[in-house]
């Protein structure tokens, strides 16, 4: 007690700044909570016993004593919430799919009654977040709910949109799996389990609505990551199974999409930019109608051997053993954390060397200034990323670079592929309707037998303008005596242009992403 300013002080406040650097204040508070646990009673602290936390106050102007008091009020009151959160999510089968390091460490502490250094560090980070965000600390919960509501409404709209369409590559079991994901978000993010359990347990302190999430943006960020990564995974699998986005990209290219301002399908342009032209066209975008048809056949599952010189004169196409080509999941750095935070089987311990390896996977370019800080992050889809050397960077700056690249990748994993699919499917319906008369004369009444075959209408439009009589078993052969014509392709261009003119081709980049997720995408058109 001799080193303390007043008898009964929790610590020597003269050394508070140094002690905080060593995680000592947080460790003291955690240890005090463990002593309460040792009494054998559930820790329920009377609110206001140490005072009331005032986030609107200026922490910088407070004395060391008042800073510690603020931390004491905040952490001890929240430890009660963490305690009951951990209590009601045991055994492990009852736990949510997402859990942060602080919650995981506290779960262990509540059992062992011991404070570890990693836990003291995590608790200090929790307090630091509050020191910085103050009264805006619940903004993390706001962003989480915006993301989960966006996903839920999007999935609901998609389920309604494709109801009644029997797609062999997307069985009903897939819809049920997607619904389970949506139900998980509803249960853990939209229903206040903490408050529900508090009432069941008849706790002395019934928490405010979504108290834990509102006071723990760290956890909200991980839930948002889980939501967006799972939704991205589902969306890519879905558009690959239905084929509409890939096929419409080939149609858009064939009608000179993007060459003039009135032919800029912005939502598709962004998708092609993110995925890279080679993903869509297996190389540079084709120009002639004949090459457009060949590339279309390849992405739909024809074998690359069909383009070999020795087989070009052979009739028809052979199928590739690998099947149709598809889009790929993006966010290379985000993907490295997927096992840990989405699948529950990733690496928990990570050092500087691991961070360096993760940064090497980045698909975004970056430039560092003389201080080793990020000066610019950008993406040049025309070539492999050019990265500055990072071997000399200290851990803090490596983490800063990691943060900036993760932020850049957010736009990739947030892109609304399900809405793009619905755009494309509606476009395919219009193309079939507008070109039906000519396609009927050229290929007969059975060229499209059911709606699930709509993506193949692009193949028929392309084949109408080429000398190809048949594309294997993929498309029906042209009827005898039918001449080649550019009319169908020109009519399809009118349909695409009409969709763009109505604004339907820019819904995602101009309305959905900015309003729902706060993501802005700017275009520069080169004349």
Each residue's pLDDT expressed in tens, for the chain with a length of 527 residues: 556 767 778 888 999 999 999 999 999 999 999 999 998 888 888 888 888 999 999 999 999 999 999 999 999 999 999 999 999 998 888 899 999 999 999 999 999 999 999 999 999 999 999 999 999 999 999 999 999 999 999 999 999 999 999 999 999 999 999 999 999 999 999 999 999 999 999 999 999 999 999 999 999 999 999 999 999 999 999 999 999 999 999 999 999 998 998 999 999 999 999 999 999 999 999 999 999 999 999 998 875 555 444 444 444 445 445 668 999 999 999 999 998 888 877 677 777 788 888 888 888 888 888 877 888 888 765 555 566 667 777 888 888 888 999 998 998 999 999 999 999 999 999 999 999 999 999 999 989 999 999 999 999 999 999 988 767 677 888 899 899 999 999 999 999 999 999 999 999 999 998 887 777 877 776 66
Helix, strand or coil, per DSSP, at residue 471? strand
Domain end marker among 134, 154, 177 = 134
The pLDDT of residue 76 is: 95
The pLDDT of residue 47 is: 82
526 within some domain: no
366 within some domain: yes
325 within some domain: no
Say how far apart CA 442 and CA 481 lie, in whole Å. Answer: 9
Domain end marker among 184, 213, 240 = 240
Domain end marker among 222, 240, 258 = 240
270 within some domain: yes
Helix, strand or coil, per DSSP, at residue 387? strand
Largest CA distance in the chain: 106
Which token pair is 13?
A: 């406040």
383 within some domain: yes
Do 429 and 288 share a domain, yes or no? yes
The pLDDT of residue 475 is: 86
Helix, strand or coil, per DSSP, at residue 319? strand
Do 404 and 423 share a domain, yes or no? no
Q: Is there a contact between 255 and 499 (Cβ–Cβ < 8 Å)?
A: no
With a CB cutoff of 8 Å and minimum separation 6, the contacts of 385 are 362, 363, 364, 365, 366, 379
Looking at the 3D structure of the chain, how many domains does it have?
A: 4
Say how far apart CA 172 and CA 156 lie, in whole Å. Answer: 15
C-alpha neighbours within 13 Å on the C-beta side of residue 426: 14
Do 507 and 454 share a domain, yes or no? yes
Do 434 and 503 share a domain, yes or no? yes
Do 448 and 299 share a domain, yes or no? yes
Tell me which residue of 423, 420, 468 sits closest to 443, measured CA to CA: 468
- The CA-based angle 140-144-147, given to 5 degrees, is 140
Do 345 and 359 share a domain, yes or no? yes
Do 427 and 496 share a domain, yes or no? yes
Q: Is there a contact between 180 and 102 (Cβ–Cβ < 8 Å)?
A: no
The pLDDT of residue 303 is: 58
Do 148 and 188 share a domain, yes or no? yes
Do 88 and 166 share a domain, yes or no? no
82 within some domain: yes
Domain extent, residue 169, equals 138-240
Q: Is there a contact between 50 and 72 (Cβ–Cβ < 8 Å)?
A: yes
Q: What is the distance in angstroms between the CA of the first residue and the CA of the last residue of the chain?
A: 77
The pLDDT of residue 308 is: 46
The pLDDT of residue 514 is: 87
Burial letters 429-449, b for 16+ CB under 10 A, else e: ebbbebbeebbeebbeeebbe
Say how far apart CA 231 and CA 342 lie, in whole Å. Answer: 11
Do 510 and 433 share a domain, yes or no? yes
388 within some domain: yes
Do 259 and 183 share a domain, yes or no? no
User: Using the 8-state DSSP alphabet, how is residue 138 labeled?
Assistant: T
The pLDDT of residue 513 is: 85
Say how far apart CA 281 and CA 272 lie, in whole Å. Answer: 10
Do 229 and 373 share a domain, yes or no? no
């Amino acid at each position: 007690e001799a080193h303390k300013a007043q008898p009964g002080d929790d610590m020597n406040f003269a050394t508070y700044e140094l002690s905080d650097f060593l995680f000592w204040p947080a460790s003291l508070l955690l240890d005090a909570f463990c002593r309460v646990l040792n009494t054998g009673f559930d820790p329920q602290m009377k609110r206001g016993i140490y005072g009331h936390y005032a986030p609107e106050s200026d922490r910088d102007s407070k004395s060391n004593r008042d800073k510690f008091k603020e931390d004491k009020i905040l952490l001890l009151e929240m430890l009660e919430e963490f305690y009951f959160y951990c209590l009601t999510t045991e055994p492990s089968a009852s736990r949510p799919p997402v859990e942060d390091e602080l919650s995981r460490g506290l779960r262990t502490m509540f059992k062992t009654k011991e404070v570890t250094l990693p836990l003291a560090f995590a608790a200090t980070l929790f307090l630091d977040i509050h020191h910085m965000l103050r009264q805006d600390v619940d903004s993390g919960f706001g962003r989480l709910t915006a993301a989960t509501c966006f996903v839920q409404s999007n999935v609901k709209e998609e389920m309604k949109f494709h109801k009644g369409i029997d797609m062999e590559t997307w069985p009903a079991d897939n819809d049920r799996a997607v619904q389970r994901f949506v139900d998980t978000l509803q249960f853990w993010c939209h229903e206040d389990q903490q408050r529900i359990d508090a009432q069941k347990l008849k706790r002395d302190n019934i928490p405010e609505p979504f108290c834990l999430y509102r006071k723990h943006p760290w956890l909200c960020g991980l839930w948002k990551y889980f939501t967006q990564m799972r939704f991205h995974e589902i969306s890519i699998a879905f558009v690959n199974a239905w084929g509409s986005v890939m096929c419409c990209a080939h149609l858009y290219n064939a009608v000179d999409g993007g060459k003039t301002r009135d032919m800029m399908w912005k939502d598709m342009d962004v998708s092609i930019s993110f995925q890279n032209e080679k993903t869509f066209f297996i190389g540079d975008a084709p120009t002639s109608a004949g090459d457009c048809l060949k590339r279309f056949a390849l992405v739909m599952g024809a074998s690359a051997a069909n383009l070999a010189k020795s087989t070009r004169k052979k009739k028809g196409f052979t199928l590739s053993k690998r099947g149709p080509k598809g889009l790929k999941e993006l966010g290379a750095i985000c993907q490295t954390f997927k096992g840990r935070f989405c699948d529950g089987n990733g690496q928990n311990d990570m050092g500087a060397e691991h961070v360096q390896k993760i940064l090497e996977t980045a698909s975004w370019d970056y430039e560092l200034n003389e201080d080793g800080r990020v000066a610019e992050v950008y993406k040049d889809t025309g070539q492999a990323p050019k990265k500055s050397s990072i071997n000399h960077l200290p851990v803090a700056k490596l983490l800063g670079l990691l943060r900036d690249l993760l932020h850049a990748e957010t736009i990739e994993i947030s892109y609304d592929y399900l809405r793009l699919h619905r755009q494309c499917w509606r476009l395919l319906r219009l193309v079939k309707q507008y070109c039906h008369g000519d396609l009927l004369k050229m290929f007969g009444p059975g060229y499209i037998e059911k709606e699930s075959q709509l993506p193949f209408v692009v193949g028929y439009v392309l084949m109408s303008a080429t000398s190809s009589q048949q594309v294997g078993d993929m498309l029906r052969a042209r009827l005898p005596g039918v001449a080649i014509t550019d009319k169908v392709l020109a009519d399809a261009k009118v349909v695409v242009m009409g969709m763009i003119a109505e604004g339907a081709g820019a819904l995602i980049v101009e309305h959905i992403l900015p309003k729902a997720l706060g993501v802005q995408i700017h275009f520069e058109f080169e004349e």
